[in-house]
Amino acid sequence: MRYLDEFRDPELAARLFDEIRRRVTRPWALMEVCGGQTHAIIRNGIDQLLPPEIELIHGPGCPVCVTPLEMIDKALAIAARPEVTFCSFGDMLRVPGSSYDLFRVKSEGGDIRIVYSPLDAVRLAQQRPDREVVFFAIGFETTAPANAMAAAQARRLGLKNFSMLVSHVLVPPAIAAIMEAPDCRVQGFLAAGHVCSVMGTNEYGPLAARYRVPIVVTGFEPLDVLEGIRRSVIQLEEGRAELENSYARAVRPEGNPAAIAMLEEIFEVSDRGWRGIGTIPRSGWRLRESYRDLDAEARFMVSGMRTVESPICRSGDVLQGRIKPHDCPAFGKACTPRTPLGATMVSSEGACAAYFQYGRFIRADSVGVTA
Amino acid sequence: MCLGIPGKVVAIYEADGIRMGEVEFDGIVKQVCLAYLPEIAVGDYTIVHVGFAISQVDEQSARETLALFQNLGLLDEELQVKGDEVVP
Ligand code: SF4
């Protein structure tokens, strides 16, 4: 159990918890979309401090966790080629593919580099014309503007030895898919604040109306998350289903216009597979026709791979809120952050890793309702 | 990787035709692309994702967030300051 004094402003936290407690009259299930929010919730024990009526379902908002297995296997195949220098964000290196991960390719001599910014990969291609530099362009709408700029810059510099393995995912189609699943239990969403700081909030109003579900744009700090929960609960109790922005200090309704313009120049919407969930129509971005010469999948001919998920891992059920991580039999035993069986244990933003890191080993059904 | 860290713009310059800057995060200075915030100036605060400034924020909220991330040990991980395979 965690305590209020771990909040930056315990008094404000207490007030927010109080109001939530006063307003709630029946059970509600809310989903926080973003992995950063999951992390804040578990670390501060927000789920344990809330009244028992409120259940938090941890959503699929960790890009490392939802990048499809097929893409990881393609990355592994490309990274193993002798002429390739493969660049990736650090979190992706330990993500298990069908049978191994990028670290293994590296230890066997693969030239794999961690980059902080996608522009570092472009610079590397500039410096090493003798190498094929491939950048693993993954992420939600937050990393997409950076990856788009890398494509634009490679084109501008006329680089022939730079390409990207693109696997971008989008939040609004995922919200729609979650709401349309037959066993959907989600009654309100905390939308990912930083995604909205790029794309704006315009796509979310129609979703709230169509699915009659409150959507509150929420930040990442414990107090932000609490405020998002408070606003969602008030909407639900009052029978409203609207879009609200509780992260106005970083999110404007129109988003970041310069970033959106660049995204439209480089990417187009496409169907995309989500690890543990399956294909969601029109839920990702791929390179536009005019930038397809930068497509690493075509350049290295890695299409048509067959993949098999670990038969033990239940990350798909975790990502869709059907089970909590500690309900998985492998959790903390065969599967730990050092020996991850599934992607949700790899990234610090994954739900399984957050539960492990903060010692949540107790299965919900063995203690009854947690308060 | 997709947390987004607030920092202070301490320099602005151009490199290979792109508007770039130096952004300071609690003592760590990183090269950051400022092309998506054409109005941002030295002394302003911004949230940075994978080396790109995406939104401007006020100083107080930036400082509070930074202190929190520092406490959680998330800063080094997010800024990739460790690890020998990191491209400098
Ligand atoms: S604990 Fe490990 S095996 Fe179980 S669902 Fe999570 S990632 Fe998969």
- The domains located in chain A, with CATH, are 2-61+181-189+197-245 (3.40.50.11750)
The helix or strand, by DSSP H or E, that contains position A174, with its residue range, turns out to be helix A171-180
Q: Which chain A residues are closer than 8 Å to B4 by Cβ?
A: 36, 142, 194, 197, 220
pLDDT of residue A364: 47
Coarse DSSP helix, strand, coil percentages of chain B, rounded to the nearest 5 percent: 25, 40, 35
CB contact under 8 A, B80 and A114: yes
Collapsing DSSP to helix, strand or coil, A138 comes out as strand
pLDDT of residue A236: 98
pLDDT of residue A320: 80
Collapsing DSSP to helix, strand or coil, B59 comes out as helix
The position carrying tokens 């998350």 is A225
Residue B86 vs residues A108, A111, A117, A238, A311: alpha-carbon distances, Å: 18, 12, 11, 51, 33
Per-residue pLDDT of chain A (371 residues; tens, 9 = 90+): 567 777 878 888 999 999 999 999 999 999 999 988 998 899 899 999 999 999 999 988 888 889 988 999 999 999 999 999 999 998 888 888 888 889 899 999 999 999 999 999 999 999 999 999 999 999 999 999 999 999 999 999 999 999 999 999 999 999 999 999 888 999 999 999 999 999 999 999 999 999 999 999 999 889 999 999 999 999 999 999 999 999 998 999 999 999 999 999 999 999 999 988 889 999 999 999 999 999 999 999 887 777 877 889 998 888 888 899 999 999 999 999 988 888 899 887 899 999 999 888 765 444 443 33
The residue type at A246: S
Closest Cα partner for A313 from A355, A275, A287, A283?
A: A275
Residues written for chain B: 88
Rounded (5°) CA angle B5-B11-B16: 95
Residue ranges making up the domain that contains B67 = 5-81
The helix or strand, by DSSP H or E, that contains position A197, with its residue range, turns out to be helix A193-199
Instruction: Give B19 to chain A, closest Cα distance, Å.
Output: 11
Give the CATH number of the domain where residue B55 resides.
Answer: 2.30.30.140
CB contact under 8 A, A87 and B65: no
Minimal Cβ distance to B86: which of A114, A197, A198: A114
User: Is B87 part of a structural domain of the chain?
Assistant: no
- State the Cα–Cα distance between residues A54 and A12, nearest whole angstrom: 19
Ligand 1, CB within 6 Å, residue ranges:
A 312-315, 318, 325, 328, 330-331, 335, 340-342, 344-345, 352
Q: Which chain A residues are closer than 8 Å to B52 by Cβ?
A: 117, 145-146, 149
pLDDT of residue A295: 97
Chain centroid to CA A308: how far? 22
User: Is B10 part of a structural domain of the chain?
Assistant: yes
Residues written for chain A: 371
Q: What is the DSSP letter of B32?
A: E
User: Is B86 part of a structural domain of the chain?
Assistant: no
Best of B14, B30, B49 to mutate (most A CBs within 10 Å, chain A) = B49
**B57-76 pLDDT tens trace:** 988 888 877 777 776 666 67
Coarse DSSP helix, strand, coil percentages of chain A, rounded to the nearest 5 percent: 45, 20, 35
- Structurally, chain B folds into a number of domains equal to 1
Residue A293 φ/ψ, nearest 5 degrees: -65, -15
User: Is B73 part of a structural domain of the chain?
Assistant: yes
pLDDT of residue A365: 46
Instruction: Give A20 to chain B, closest Cα distance, Å.
Output: 24
Collapsing DSSP to helix, strand or coil, A88 comes out as strand
User: Is B88 part of a structural domain of the chain?
Assistant: no
Minimal Cβ distance to A116: which of B4, B37, B50: B50
pLDDT of residue A369: 39
User: Is B13 part of a structural domain of the chain?
Assistant: yes
Q: Which chain A residues are closer than 8 Å to B33 by Cβ?
A: 117, 119, 146, 149
With a threshold of 0.90, tell me whether the complex ipTM lies above it.
no
Residue A16 vs residues A251, A286, B61: alpha-carbon distances, Å: 22, 41, 19
Q: What is the DSSP letter of B38?
A: T
pLDDT of residue B74: 66
- Read off the pTM: 0.91
Q: How many CB atoms lie within 10 A of CB A141?
A: 27
pLDDT of residue B85: 54
Instruction: Give the mean model confidence (pLDDT) for residues B4-18.
Output: 93
Give the sign of the dihedral formed by CA A258, CA A35, CA A320, CA A52: negative
Collapsing DSSP to helix, strand or coil, A254 comes out as coil
CB contact under 8 A, A115 and B72: no
The helix or strand, by DSSP H or E, that contains position A60, with its residue range, turns out to be strand A54-61
